[in-house]
Chain A
Amino acid sequence: MFANILINGAITAGIYALLALGFSLIFGVAKIINLAHTAFYMLAAYFIFTFAYFLGLSAPLSATASIIITTAIGVGTYKLVIERIREHETAVLMITIALALVFQESILLAFGSHFRSAPSFISGHVELLGVTVSIQHILTFGVVLVCLLGIWMLLSKTKLGIAIRAVAQDREIANLVGINVGTMCLITMAIAVALAAVAGAMVAPLWTIQPHMWMRPLVMVLAVVVLGGLGSLKGSFVAAFILGYTVTLVVFLFPTISFIKEAIALTIMVAVLLIRPEGLFGVAFEEERL
């Protein structure tokens, strides 16, 4: 059973981490709590379905086209709507949840409520430590690690990354040293939405595509980023593993109540926040942010 928990927990955590990465990034840089984040993931899944089944494109090609189009929609949404009210946090919350609902209803109108499926990149399964795991799950976990490494390289090794971090630390100072804050926020939004689209591309073949598919992951994404500390990528990654292993443990140890596995994970989040309100890797005061 230990091997089962080890592997299934890691896979669940990987999916949570992939979804939370972009959400955490855009908050860390632009202070935008984008509640439409998982709606972009839903859009990406539908684009993949459309390209694969209506245009007959292969899974990798469908995923690539889907990530590009979803990112473009994300950037357009940011320029047209979010950027104008970026400084008003409550308005951003309301607008992004409204956008998510608009996306949901549009998809409902276009595709109906039928459950859809996207093709796997690689089908089949393998045995890992005696546990049966689908190759798509392993691929998803690999993509999580690549995305995390890529984001870390971008933020720490490139001029663009340093500029993004500067904006995240102090917008006014960044502006004074000649960094275009607006452009940096736009680029960060594009990266965040692209990450949501990558999550959609990887997870869509594993789960079911439907217009309401963004709601449930949104709760877990919020839990991951709040537990990890809003805006902390490292925190999101660690929190994803804590929650991923919690839900897996519930399934294995308490199978008759596995339907409340996510509620138990959220309870643990609440408990941690009562002890450390800023989250595991969050900062209590902006001055602490490095």
Chain B
Amino acid sequence: MKKGLVALLVVCLVAVALIPGCQPGPEGTIKIGVIGPMTFVQGEQHWMGATMAADEINEAGGIVVGNVTMPIELVQIDSNEMLSVPDAATAMEKAVTVDKVDFLVGGFRTEAVLAMQDTAMDHQKIFLGCGSASKEQCVRVAEDYDKYKYWFRITPINDNLLVMDSFLILDTVISVVKDELGIEEVKIALLMEKAEVGDLIVSACEHLIPAMGEDLELVGTWRPSPTATDVTAELSAIKNSGAHIIMTYFSGPVGIVYAKQWGELEIPAASAGINVEAQKMGFWDATGGKGNYETTLNQYARIEQTDKTIPFFDKFVAETGEFPTYTAGTYDALYILKDAIERAGTLDSDAVVIELENTEYFGSAGRIVFTSTETGNPHDLMWGPEYVTGIGTQWQDGELLCIWPPVDGSWNGLVYEGTVAYKVPPWVIDYWEAK
């Protein structure tokens, strides 16, 4: 019996030793872990963006580290973070201790990213975030620099700035709605899923909209669940409220339900805000075309944010059949990492962190510069006309087009080539003209 157990133990040890994931990578490669919810779109885009960048860098020879040129070896790590935060922390632990990755990119859900951030920092591994908007991760860098300095955010802009962008897009929509409907006073309804960022935006709206001018009135706030399957009652109540604009925040599948029912019922209010599902190519089919005129804050459209945007956008669509969304920012993350490693001339995390802090990179979605260690949220993205701005996009007859920064240049004179004017849905105009 004992011999049998010993033999079984030996077999197990040999098997573990032979599992490919437990082996160090081919000598001379840089192992980069791409961590995300791989069975969900967000993780798929993490992987697609990273794969594109790694292929390009490897085709060009690899990353020059001192006197050696090393190719990138990507390791896909499924965090399962949509369903389980503990799974995400475990996946990160495995990536570092078993897969022995040198660097990490990815992450999506804030709670999971906070857990994964802790694990990566404990092992002094550089983790470039490409999904979570929470400012908290960068506040941690300020509070305990020595521990958290290995964290940098590549995408998206932080939640405070997302709110800022949402208001700027709303401002554009308000002015177009006023012109098109011939009204002076605009009524706004909030329809925002119950989520952390949603709470932040609702709170900001309730304070800021009344302060934006006497011509604006907040007529009500509706808070469906992120997984609600039907919002017809909410839409019906909003129609009753006499709202001209619905300001939205949807990160989950309710965004598709909303857009579909908003278009199907021809609710007489223009829609503006954040609808993550509306950033995806599949949105048009998923709403059966009823999502026409849906507007959302976004990161990518086929416009010239930099000279890299359109080539990246076109190549991404050609290779994956999807529009890039913000988790595809792993593409820029790999190039930023490559530049920092080459400047440092070593893979040593501390040396690379110093070079990452000096990053100035024209990426696919703008000029990336990190906030300094003097700020309350170091290693975050700088935002503004000269940096990353975020964009507003609207579905217009099957195409996802950029509508903010506005085409008239009224926001700091910035206009991205390819931007069009925001369109008020025709049924909204018809309804209010008939009133």
Contacts and interface: CB of A to CB of B under 8 A. Distances in A.
B239 interface: yes
A251 B237 contact: yes
B23 interface: no
A137 to B, nearest CB: 7
A152 interface: no
A12 B223 CA distance: 18
A259 B233 CA distance: 12
A116 interface: yes
B292 to A, nearest CB: 13
B287 interface: yes
Nearest to A209: B286
A208 B237 CA distance: 21
B323 to A, nearest CB: 13
B41 interface: yes
A17 to B, nearest CB: 14
B233 A252 contact: yes
A207 B222 contact: no
Contacts, number: 109
A113 B224 CA distance: 22
Given A1-B240, A207-B257, A208-B257, A258 B229 contact: no
A115 B223 contact: no
Interface string A80-112: 000000000000000000000000000010001
Interface string B213-251: 000000011111101111011101101100000000000
Interface in A203-262: 205-208, 210, 213, 216-217, 247-248, 251-252, 255-260, 262
A155 interface: no
B145 interface: no
A28 B224 CA distance: 34
B373 interface: no
Contact of A115 (B261, B265, B282): B282
B260 A117 contact: yes
B370 to A, nearest CB: 32
A232 B261 CA distance: 33
Chain B CB count within 10 A is highest, among A15, A119, A259, A262, for A259
Contacts of B237: 1, 4, 251-252, 255
Contacts of B287: 117
Given A132-B267, A259-B193, A117 B285 contact: yes
B194 interface: yes
Given A132-B266, A259-B223, A113 B232 contact: no
B411 interface: no
A11 interface: yes
B428 to A, nearest CB: 13
A120 B224 CA distance: 24
B223 A258 contact: yes
Chain A CB count within 10 A is highest, among B224, B233, B257, for B233
B220 A117 contact: no
A208 B256 contact: yes
A112 B39 contact: yes
B194 A259 contact: yes
Nearest to B285: A117
A216 B232 contact: no
Contact of B224 (A114, A119, A259): A259
Given A114-B282, A125-B264, A208-B257, A120 B230 contact: no
Contacts of B230: 12, 15, 206-207
B19 to A, nearest CB: 23
Interface in A258-290: 258-260, 262
B229 A208 contact: yes
A114 B39 CA distance: 9
B232 A255 contact: no
Nearest to B43: A113
B277 A115 contact: yes
A50 interface: no
A216 B237 CA distance: 23
25 contacts: A4-B237, A8-B233, A8-B236, A113-B39, A114-B41, A114-B286, A116-B282, A117-B256, A117-B287, A123-B288, A132-B239, A132-B267, A136-B264, A137-B232, A207-B257, A208-B229, A208-B260, A216-B227, A216-B229, A251-B222, A252-B233, A252-B237, A257-B223, A258-B224, A259-B224
Q: Which 3 A-B pairs rank lowest in CB-CB distance, beginning with the nearest?
A: A259-B194, A251-B233, A259-B225
